[in-house]
Structure 1
Amino acid sequence: MPRKFIKKYLPDPHSIKKNRAVNMFGSLLHDANLWHLNRKSARGAFAVGLFNAFVPIPFQMWLSAVGAIVFKVNLPLSVALVWISNPLTMPPMFYGCYLVGEMILGDTGYEFAFEPSWDWLVQSLSTIGPTFIFGCFIVSSVSAIIGYFGINWLWRYSVAKAWRLRQEERANRTK
């Protein structure tokens, strides 16, 4: 079930290879492991994609593509999972990361009050920045671990369920 569901939404590898944005990876994209969709590649892609979704830098998709190439996991899936963090979800996600960092490191003594200005951003990097970055690292790591083991469990469960259904159908046909 997960394979059919995921494969339905993934783009064709040939169309991805023709894209100018990924041409910078050149012959690295010819590795067949980057395009196979099996339990091992899916669980690795979930880990890479979810980890990079909480990394507070631009170009998370490229970072996820590099991670997929390094770990030889499904490239389209790892890049697609980065879109969990999009312009609508980033503010609550990153505020949550800051709260996690503050909960673990303790109160920083600084009040969090957002201002859409360059001065506020520069000042915040020195005051609440370390807490925020630490929180992002913790949330990234935990979400990668949960994604890795969660998709592994879901994949194994759906395969076992399919086997049971086939055995029951076979038993019913022989009666």
Structure 2
Amino acid sequence: MPRRFLQRYMPHPDTLKGNRSLRFMRHLIGDASLWMLSRRSVANAFMVGVFCALLPIPFQMVLAAGGACLLRCNLPLSIGLVWITNPLTMPIIFYGNYRLGAWLLDTPPRAAPDTLSTQWIAERLVDILPALALGSLVAAVVAGLAANVAIRLIWRWHVSRSWRRRRKQRRLRAALAAKGRNGEG
């Protein structure tokens, strides 16, 4: 995984420590293990962030921060990935989770109304909630584990590609140096 790319977009811990509104978290922000960019730390951060993003609960970022602290993985990535579910994607993702849950429970999914309102949601919440909760939990676990495995594989591929490139460059330099010593220049 391109570590420099990730470091370019991550905030520096010292900047966050100086923020007045985050003083109560100073001891967490100062923990170096929550800022590391290793294969394990980034893969687990993706797992935590994607898992929390797919749950239809308030305060997903707080849950992601707690998960990052518990698993000692990258805190900013865990929190940032929660924004997979944003106001534009949330209806689509949660409707897909609901359909998955309805399929798993073998119940027919409710048809969406022409105009969605909070009254309609409140009236149907008892019917919708079991399927939404089960579908969201299954989707979160599967997507979180898939994200973890995918990041580990991408990271390994990137490192092995880098090693091959460096090995090729060393052989080329050695060949050029040998050529120069033999006077074949």
Rate the CA distance shift 1:24–1:60 in 2: closer, same or farther, 3 A. Answer: farther
Per-residue CA deviation, residues 62-121 of structure 1 (Å, 9 max, x unaligned), is: 111111111110000111111111001101111111111112111246434375433322
Q: Is the 8 A contact 2:50 2:144 kept in 1?
A: yes
Q: Distance in 1 between matches of 2:59 and 2:115?
A: 23
Match of 1:18 in 2: 18
Partner Cα distance (1:3, 1:46) in 2: 15
Write the distance in 2 (CA, Å) between the matches of 1:129 and 1:64. 22
Root-mean-square deviation (CA), in Å?
1.8
CA contact 1:45–1:78 (8 Å) conserved in 2: yes
Query: Who is 1:168 aligned against?
Result: 168
Q: Contact 1:108 / 1:128 at 8 angstroms: preserved in 2?
A: no
Structure 1 unaligned runs (5+)? none
Superposed counterparts of 1:102-113, under 5 Å = 102-108=102-108, 110-113=110-113
> For 2:73, what is the secondary structure of its paired residue?
coil
Query: Residue type of the partner of 1:6?
Result: L
Paired with 2:133 and 2:89, the residues of 1 have a C-alpha distance of 17
- Give the structure 1 partner of residue 58 of structure 2: 58
Aligned mates of 1:55, 1:19 — CA distance in 2 = 29
Distance in 1 between the 2:28 and 2:126 partners? 38
Q: In the alignment, which residue of structure 1 is the partner of 2:86?
A: 86
- Classify 1:124/1:21 alpha carbon distance in 2 versus 1 (closer, same or farther; 3 Å): farther
Q: 1:56 to 1:18 in 2, by over 3 A?
A: farther
What are the Cα deviations for residues 21-78 of structure 1, in whole angstroms up to 9, with x where unaligned? Answer: 5444342332210011111110110000000011112221111111111111000011
Q: Does structure 1 retain, via aligned residues, the 8 Å contact 2:99–2:109? A: no
Which is further off, 39-48 or 111-120? 111-120
State percent identity of aligned pairs: 41
How many matched pairs? 175
Structural mapping, 1:12-51, within 5 Å? 12-20=12-20, 22-51=22-51
Aligned-partner Cα distance in 2 for 1:68–1:138? 20
> Equivalent residue for 2:135?
135
Question: Distance in 2 between the 1:109 and 1:169 partners?
Answer: 59
TM-score, reference length from structure 2: 0.86
Counterpart of 1:133 in structure 2: which amino acid?
A: A
Q: Which amino acid aligns with 1:144?
A: G
